[in-house]
Amino acid sequence: MAEIVGAYFTSHVPAIGNAIHKGLQQDPYWKPFFDGYPPVQQWLAKTKPDVAVVFYNDHGLNFFLDKMPTFAVGAAPQYDNADEGWGLPLFKSFEGHPALSWHIINNLVEDEFDITTCQKMLVDHALSIPFELVYPDADAWPMKLVPIAINTVQHPLPSAKRCLALGRAVNKALRNWAGDERIVVMGTGGLSHQLDGERAGFINAAYDTFCMDNLSVDPDALTRDSVHEMVRKSGTQGIEVLNWIAARGALGEGPATELHRNYHIPISNTAAATMVMEPGVLVPA
């Protein structure tokens, strides 16, 4: 039977890609951020997942506004990165897991989530940067990918409650998958930031802390605000926390244990965060 080893959450700020490319990990601006990742690397080395189910949002690489799915599940044998228009280095491709993708798709539709399916799908920095951060020396990513894109760009966006429910339905699908894969779930983006408007540069550590404090023990607490109120508290792009909420749902309905957290202001225009959780309550040794 497949095992869900845990969840990894991280910001995916594009500038991180350039910092990695230029080797700035020890630079005073970047160090407090990059220092948050060795514990995640060690946790992954120990838990050795072979599949990642990743909740993220596309930033105008794969999806344009002519067709904008609320939830889209990848079912491709391979996912490539491509030129995003502003000079990021090209990232490595991912191997897909079409059989597991279709299993998730079948289960989600059975559970009345009317998702979009994608047999071809480019993946942008929101997918690549989380992997670059935790496998800095890999020639190829050590696991297969099932990407699940959530629309966080064009309102109306799905509610936090709906994203948590989507994640929980993915968890149900993973638990009844007959394979023996070790699965890590991931949520990328956030935390608070705003790129556009006169309020550009907005950051809200109090709200981010509320989200991080509750995500493991009471994720439903994050679903009580409307998307509009969440944007007020987290910024127009901080709403990417929806990806974290969905990923937390995919970890399962029960309590989870927070193993690691790093939070740093600012990286680029963003309050950058990373967390690791495992399902269940860990009893201290």
| Interface with Fe ion (CB under 5 A) | 189
Given the residues 21, 125, 228, 264, the one annotated as active site: 125
With respect to another protein, which residue has the nearer C-beta, 81 or 171? 81
Q: Which parts of this chain interact with another protein (CB under 8 A)?
A: 15, 59-61, 64-65, 82-87, 153-156, 194-206, 209, 226, 228-229, 231-232, 236-237, 263-266, 268-269, 271
Our answer to whether residue 97 is catalytic in this structure is: no
**CA distance linking residue 215 with residue 248, whole number of Å:** 7
With respect to Fe ion, which residue has the nearer C-beta, 158 or 189? 189
- What's the closest the beta carbon of residue 155 comes to another protein, in angstroms? 4
With respect to another protein, which residue has the nearer C-beta, 48 or 120? 120
Our answer to whether residue 260 is catalytic in this structure is: no
Radius of gyration for the chain, computed over Cα atoms and rounded to the nearest angstrom: 17
Given the residues 12, 97, 193, 264, the one annotated as active site: 193
79 binds, among another protein, Fe ion, none (CB under 5 to 8 A by kind): none
With respect to Fe ion, which residue has the nearer C-beta, 43 or 56? 56
CB atoms within 10 A of CB 128: 26
Residues 51/184, Cβ–Cβ less than 8 Å: yes
Smallest Cα–Cα separation from 133: which of 230, 262, 269? 262
Side-chain-side CA neighbours of residue 207 (13 Å): 21
CB atoms within 10 A of CB 137: 5
Smallest Cα–Cα separation from 209: which of 249, 178, 238, 250? 238
198 binds, among Fe ion, another protein, none (CB under 5 to 8 A by kind): another protein
User: First vs last Cα of the chain: how many Å apart?
Assistant: 27
Residues whose CB falls within 8 Å of the CB of residue 182, separated by 6 or more in sequence, listed in order: 2, 3, 5, 47, 48, 49, 50, 51
Nearest residue to Fe ion on Cβ basis: 189
- What's the closest the beta carbon of residue 139 comes to another protein, in angstroms? 26
- What's the closest the beta carbon of residue 191 comes to Fe ion, in angstroms? 11
- What's the closest the beta carbon of residue 102 comes to another protein, in angstroms? 29
| Catalytic (active-site) positions | 125, 193
